[in-house]
Structure formats: C-alpha cells, structure tokens
Structure 1
C-alpha cells in the first residue's frame, strides 16, 4: 500500500468543521426538547449526548442515531419509550396518553 493511500485528504479539516457547525445548528433548532424523525408524526423527547467530542441532539428512546433526521416539534411527546425513559423529567404528554407517575 502506498504512503499516499494512508494520507488524509487536504480538505478533511474543513469537512469536520462543517459537520460540527451543522450539528451545532441542529442542537439550537432542537432546543425545545421535542422532535419527530423524518416524516413520522411520533414526537420524541430530545436530549444531548457527546459524539466524537461534539455535543449532538438525540431522542431519549435512541430509536434514531442520526441527528440530521430529527425535525423540531412543538407537540407533546407521544413516543411511549421516550416517556418511559424520561425518568421523571418534565415532558409534555400527548393527548389520550396517561401521565407518568413520578
């Protein structure tokens, strides 16, 4: 294998900076704490976690790992797994669903 095959492309630093900026913007967009995934109507609770040294938004139930698929939502949390894992955190519950006892 040649030495050139082991070298990083010159623009890889710019790619990393761009991705970090996109993830930072996504964190701001999801600051309300609720999101849908892709075109789904299910509303999930959102929290932050560290991923390769960058804070990223994730759904509490961890059903989706890609923060770029998350869409901000103002609706109440309707994901049962998120509600169950909320562990007493203050999340709005969807219509027709019972409040979690804490």
Structure 2
C-alpha cells in the first residue's frame, strides 16, 4: 500500500501532493456526516488543482523592483493564461 512504510507507519500525504490534498478533503467530508453531498464538487476541485499545477510549471514570471515595492508580471502559453484568468480572481484575497 502507498501509505505505509516500515513498521506500518502511515504517511500524511501519500503520492503526489495534489492527490494528498484531495485525499485530505475527502477525509474531512467523510468526518462531517451532515455535509450536503449535492454541493460537493470534487471534479471542480480537481480542475482547480490542475490550474494550480499549470501555473507553477508553465508560468513565466518577470519581477521588477520598484522604489515602493515590486511589480510581478506573469505570462505563459494559452493554457497557462487561461489558468491565470481563473486562478487570480479565485485567490486575489490571499
């Protein structure tokens, strides 16, 4: 089994971190029996994780130092730009 090592110790995040994050979400949902399962969108969450990976792997980032801070420009191929358009509004507050 992927989640066990010597002595049977379980891993907290088995495999790729995206898989681990999805597994954690599923564990939380299973622990909350009153969760309205009709409002859970695991497919949408997976698509969000794909966007996150695409941004980390496909983005071309240019940083410019300013007197009062930093300007960051991000670009990439068409798929990366589409991910940027979805991710920036979703995470702007963070």
TM-score (norm 2): 0.28
* Bigger share in strand: 1
TM-score (norm 1): 0.26
Bigger relative contact order, structure 1 or 2 (CA pairs below 8 A, ≥6 apart):
1
